[in-house]
Amino acid sequence: MDTFRAYRIDEKDGKVVAGFREMTIDDLTDGDVVIKVSHSTINFKDALAATGAGRILRRYPLNGGIDLAGEIVSSNDAGLPAGTPVLVNGCGLSETVDGGYAEYARVASSSVVPIPAGLDAAAAMRIGTAGYTAALAIHRMEQNGQQPGQGPVVVTGATGGVGSVAIDMLSGRGYEVVAVTGKADAKAYLESIGARRILARADIDVGKRPLERAEWAGAIDSLGGELLTWLTRTMAYGGNIASVGLAASPALETTVIPFILRAVCLLGINSVETPRDLRLAVWSRIAGDLKPRHLETIGQRTIAFDELPGAFQAYLDGAVTGRTVVEIGS
């Protein structure tokens, strides 16, 4: 193998440009493990990076893709021998190091997770960073005392990758899940993956008072902005809000009152820099008690590597439901 294909993101004259390039292993950012990539995926963050709609990369050029799965072809880590099926999500992929949109990747061994029993590369990428983020949010909430019997848990951005997998995982754990969506035709999909009730985003009165009627025992929020503010106002005593994204807005206008009168907890979820022990524990749960039951429904869309450039705009338009797997190689 002399050269291989990669989808590379660069900056020219202040503008982001991206396209397929021929590379060699020596062209990749440093690492002690080389992986032959079989699958990747598309996250909202990937669409921002590849189109320049968001400043995701901290250096240029880099291969895109914050997720990858494949097989180790060479390694300096005795615990990760050649032939091991592995995944990498976050850990600086497509931010500071070359990402998963390439036929080969070279990464630090500390970022590599052996694919747990019960999952394969395609399933791992149907889950990907979005599903890992959902699992990490649930893990953190349960560490903070969240239990199914406390009452309903609301999930915003419900048809997105994080939202869809969160609904599936929460429902499987016995939680009553309420889905918030802006898609009028999403009811059947959301009910099929475990939502007990659906709220139309346009019908929500976010309120004006620091505290409104307590409705939720917990929440996973992908949106930020006024809906996150609404969640702080309507959370029941001791409720956990896991903040995982800012698809609507990075703003949060609230007061300390929900936190000191209702003991509401706002948990920040960072899937990129998770310590390795926690990352391994969460992926173990993803293959175990948090394993999605409706992964074929959530991740039913698969595209070829060649189709990647045309797939990003739908993410920016908010027109994507569930997850997209990208087949990189055989």
Q: What is the mean pLDDT of the chain?
A: 96
Given a cut of 90, is residue 146 above it in pLDDT?
yes
Amino acid identity at 252: L
Domain assignment of residue 54, given as a range:
4-115+300-327
CATH code for the domain of 24: 3.90.180.10
Residue 318 confidence (pLDDT): 87
Residue at a domain's end among 225, 245, 268: 268
The model's pTM is 0.95
Q: What is the mean pLDDT of residues 255-265?
A: 98
The residue type found at 146 is Q
Overall number of domains in the chain: 2
Q: Are residues 151 and 257 in the same domain?
A: yes
Instruction: Output 248-252 pairs: Cβ under 8 A, ≥24 positions apart.
Output: 248/223, 248/224, 249/223, 249/224, 249/225, 250/224, 250/225, 251/224, 251/225, 252/224, 252/225, 252/228
Residue 283 near residue 132, CB atoms below 8 Å: yes
pLDDT of 12 strictly over 90: yes
Cis-peptide, bond into residue 61, ω within 30° of zero: yes
pLDDT of residue 329: 85
Give 330's pLDDT tier (boundaries 50, 70, 90): low
**Same-domain check for residues 80 and 183:** no
Q: Is 124 contained in some domain?
A: no
Residue 275 inside a domain? The answer is no
Q: With respect to residue 284, please indicate whether it lies within any of the assigned structural domains.
A: no
Confidence class for position 245, pLDDT limits 50, 70, 90: very high
Is residue 280 a part of any domain in this protein?
no
Assigned domain for 292 exists: no
pLDDT at residue 40 greater than cutoff 70: yes
Do 135 and 212 lie in one domain? The reply is: yes
Q: Are residues 173 and 101 in the same domain?
A: no
Q: Give domain status of residue 22, yes or no.
A: yes
- Rounded mean pLDDT, 12-16: 91
Residue 129 has pLDDT above 70, yes or no: yes
pLDDT in tens, 70-120: 999 999 999 999 999 999 999 999 999 999 999 999 999 999 999 999 999
Report the SS3 class of residue 215. coil
The 3-state secondary structure of 79-132 reads: CCCCCCEEEEECCCECCCECCCCECEEEECHHHCEECCCCCCHHHHHHHHHHHH
| Phi-psi region at 226: left, alpha or beta (left = phi > 0; alpha = psi -120 to 50) | alpha
Do 167 and 249 lie in one domain? The reply is yes
pLDDT digits (tens, 9 = 90+) for 149-208: 999 999 999 999 999 999 999 999 999 999 999 998 999 999 999 999 999 999 999 999
**Residue 14, pLDDT above cutoff 90:** no
> Residue 180 belongs to a domain with what CATH number?
3.40.50.720
Q: Tell whether 28 is covered by a domain.
A: yes
